[in-house]
Each structure stands twice: as structure tokens, then as C-alpha cells.
Structure 1
Amino acid sequence: MLLRKGSQWFEINRKLAVYIVEDTTFYPKFDEFCKLACYVDEHYFPTMLTIHASNLLANRIGMAISTRPDGDSDRPRGGAHPATFGRADITEEFLKKVLEDQSCLYNNQPSSVCFLFARKFAPSALEPLLLLAPKYFGY
């Protein structure tokens, strides 16, 4: 069974939500065959919607901060979930790396417009982010 991998954070319209809720074909197969490291939000939804309603998907990829699992990040902590970034993590080098490592796509084509999605920041990260944002994000 080939699965499409997507972000666990996404937006859908009402029509796609109805497809998901009404599905009795794809989820039973997903549940049967996908036992290890398979997640409904990252695998089932993108796979089922690509098969059932690909013409309604934006196929957009933007820049993301902190969506790498701990084991894949520069600060490994173990586990399958992203690390939380705190005050000490927010440096100029960190933001340079985020901006250099990203490519943005829209309908599977390179795009000059990138949407930044960030999560897993501790409250202590707010001040350094606000101080560095004008230099790196232009606001």
C-alpha cells in the first residue's frame, strides 16, 4: 500500500470534510495495512483526498519551523514528536538555517511566495523571535 505523506496541519473546505466523514472505503484499508509509524493526519487524509478529490487540493508547501521530529533535528531528544524551541534556541543562525533549508511549492511548482508555519515554541522564545523578525522576515 503506497501512502502519500503530508503535513499534520492542513486546511480543508466543507466538501473535503464531508468526503472524510463519509469514507468507508479507504480508512478500513489504511487501518488494516498501516500499522507502524502511520498517522491519520499525515498519511490517511492526504492519501484518501489525493485519490478521491485531487482536483480540490492546493498541493501547496510552505516554510515550516519545528515540524521535524526530534530524531531528525539538530537537537535530538528522542521520540517521534518535534522538540519545543525556547529562548536559547532562537538565534540568528537558527533563523538563517530555517530560511535556507526551505523551498516553497504551489501546485508542485516552485513559488516565490512562501507561507511560514511555526509551532512548538515555548513562551520564552517570544522575545528573541520579536527582536529577530524584522531582520529575517521583513516586518
Structure 2
Amino acid sequence: MKVPRVWQRGSKDMTAMPHPRHRTAKKPMWIIVLLSIVCVSLIGAYVYPPRRYSTCYFFASSVCTPFKDWLPAVTRRELTDEEVFSSVVIRDLLSMPMPVSKNPKIAFMFLTPGSLPFEKLWEKFLQGHEGRYSIYIHASREKPVHSSPLFVGREIRSEKVVWGRVSMVDAEKRLLGNALLDIDNQFFVLLSDSCIPLHTFDYIYNYLMGTNVSFIDSFLDPGPHGSGRYSIEMFPEIEHRDFRKGAQWFAITRRHAILIMSDNLYYRKFKLYCKPTVGRNCIADEHYLPTLFKRTVTSTPCILNGRKRPCFLFARKFYPDAVNNLLKLFPSYTSA
């Protein structure tokens, strides 16, 4: 019988094992060929598009012409009763002739918590132009103390205004309603207590009276503080794609001022669903008018010498203690 033997292999007993060979992986030639064909096809489609159709850009937002016939027809949504009523009023309002005034005036509407620190500057701006302007003051916190006689007795009935709430829009409409009572008021300018004019009265008067368009800040902001404030409860009257943002300050024609006063459909949506809350934090005065005019009228950017430029007639956010320096500078910067 064989007896098993156990031993410890020494270094002399060890045999050298050959290292495993690393085989080079074969390149998937068929993938390279396929990618080459696709790239060549795309380049050819862009460089030599078919004569019947324009170049088809795969990442464009619009549908390419050759494929439009393949898509199902888009059915138009049936309007609600409120939308039908609103569209009829707006359509007729925008087409009807406005009363012609023999003495057209600009209504300067001041939205302020109290006194106006730049009354002396505005007095200098308005002097000598009596009968060509009107002044309306909405003071939401306290009765203004006036430093210029031009502003005495110009206050309207005012109510409390809370930042970000629809009460700010209510104050704007309250100013417009009072200003519309004067048939001679043809242009309506909303201003804050920190606003000043950038030009002479004649320049601004001729600029506004020489046009039939309104000036409203309205733009698409895709971020969280723009379109991110949209609420689905506004649908279907207000769609996400029509939600706009802009500063509340405006200069508008009489026709558009009446349009704002006549609107209830869109105003109600903002009153109910646009509030400064945690998360969405919707600010009514930043979105209501920009969205309203996006939905109801045709808008165009400000054009100066063939280029898009902001149309600034006034500036704001000046500190009250700057009034004396501004009074010294007023003749020079308004004549520029």
C-alpha cells in the first residue's frame, strides 16, 4: 500500500508558470461604420437640403415642414363662458374709436405709502404746462404732507396696500378709475414716490401724445421667480406659456386703461392663485398686467434707430435726501 507523503515545496521545486496573455479586444467595426454613415447623412442634410423643403433642424422648437402632414390635427379648446364674454368685450373695445379731446393731458398717477419726497422736482418739471397734465395720488399708509402747491388736494380715496398681494393691483386700478373720469386724460403714467422724470415736460408730452401704443414691461422669465410662479389653477384661461413678468410701472393709452378696468376674468385668476407664499411666491403686480396684455393685444419691443432698446422716460429708486442734488442737476440732465 502506498503511503501518502506530504512535503513542503521549496523554491527549487517550483516551476515557472507562464503569464496569461492579454488579448487585444477587437474593435466593433460595425459601430464605427454605422456612426460614420449617420454623420455623413446629417452633414449632407444640412448642406444639401431638399429643394421642396427647408433645412430640418432636429433641435428646433417648431415642427419640420415634411413631418407636419404626419401629425394629428390640433383641436382648438372650447372656450368657457367667461372667456367668450371677455373676448367679445376686449375685441369691441380694441376696435371702437376713442373720444377725441381738444386738450389732451397726461395723467401722472403716484402710488406711494405717504408723502412724495420729490414734489419740488416734479413742480419744476410741471411749471408752465398747466392744463396739459393731471395729478392723482394714492397714499396707502398716511396722509401726505406736501411741499408743492401743485400736489395739494390731489389725493384719491386710498386703501391699505400689502406688498406682493393683489391689493397693489387694486390700487393701480383705483388710480386708473379716477383718472379716466377726466375725458381729457389720454395717457396714464404710473409712478412711485421714488420716481423722477428723465426729460423735459415737452419731450415726454410729445413723445407720448405722438404714439398710439402703450409701454408695459413684459418678458418671459423661465426661472423660479418667473414662470416658476405659475399655478396650474390658472388653467385653462391662462396657460403656462402665456405667463409673463415685468415691472408694474407703465405708460398706457386711454384705450388700454379702459381694457384694464373692464377685465375681470384674468384679474380673478390672479386674485385667487397669485400670492406671496412659501415655494412659488407669486407677486401679483409683477405678473398680472404683463400676462393680461400678452393674452389680449399684440406686443412689440421698443425700437430706436432700427435696434431694440428700452424706452425710458422716468427713473426710480432715488433716496429722498438726493432731492437737492437732483434739483441742481435737473436742467442739465433733462436737456441732454
* Structure of larger gyration radius: 2
Higher normalized contact order (CA 8 Å, seq sep 6+, divided by chain length):
1
TM-score range, shorter chain: 0.3 to 0.5
In proportion to residue count, which structure has more helix? 1
